[in-house]
Structure 1
Amino acid sequence: MFSGLLQPMHLLLILGVVLIIFGPGKLANIGHDLGKSVRDFKAAMEEHHVTTESIEAAAKPDVQPAPRAMETAAEARPAEKA
């Protein structure tokens, strides 16, 4: 029926072995700890993202574009009287 590596019977067998090894009480604790670590990881990634954005924004200098050559040459010549 299924030709994949993890067929439904395989998953049930793995779940049964894990339940026998750890027991239902320890399995609940493992699930709780795993969920807490995933939440902590997500919070740390969001904090790192905010920190990275603020560092990048602070690192960008406020630079004005250089004036064009024609404008500087015209400003350098004194104005002629008519």
Structure 2
Amino acid sequence: MGPFNGPTIAILVIVALLLFGAKKLPDLARSLGRSARILKAESKGLVDEENEGKDEETGQQERAEESQKQQARAQTDEPSQRDPRQLPPGQRIVNESGESAHRSYGN
């Protein structure tokens, strides 16, 4: 088994009772539990912040790549082939309630 078997734990409890007394042990255990919860929450927060930083970097890279793709598409598209009254791809006109309004750009 491990280093903490039954008799070892009993001896530690007796020594703690002698050192701190029966009235102080519940308070010490409670404060130790609170400290452990705070430490756990803070370490989780640090890990979450680190992951968010990585996600932001990845998102910035993806946005830059998408922007480059859009610029490349815009350069290859012939302006004379497009109808100036039509919306660019991926865009739409919506009314006040957020529903699509079926009309072309410029009308």
TM-score tier by shorter-chain length is 0.5 to 0.7
The answer for unaligned runs of 5 or more in structure 1 is: 65-82
Q: Which stretches of structure 1, 4 residues or longer, exceed 3 Å deviation after superposition?
A: 3-7
Give the corresponding residue for 1:58: 56
Root-mean-square deviation (Å): 2.6
2:11 is matched with which residue: 10, 13, 25? 13
**What is the aligned residue count?**
66
Identity across matched positions, percent:
21
Sort the Cα spacing of 1:50 and 1:7 in 2 relative to 1 into closer, same or farther, 3 A.
closer
Aligned partner of 1:22 in structure 2 is: 20
Q: Which has the higher contact order (CA 8 A, sep 6+)?
A: 2
Structure 2 residue ranges without an equivalent (≥5):
66-107
Q: Taking structure 1 as the reference length, what is the TM-score of the superposition? A: 0.62
Residue 4 of structure 1: CA displacement? 6.1
CA distance in 2, matches of 1:32, 1:26: 10
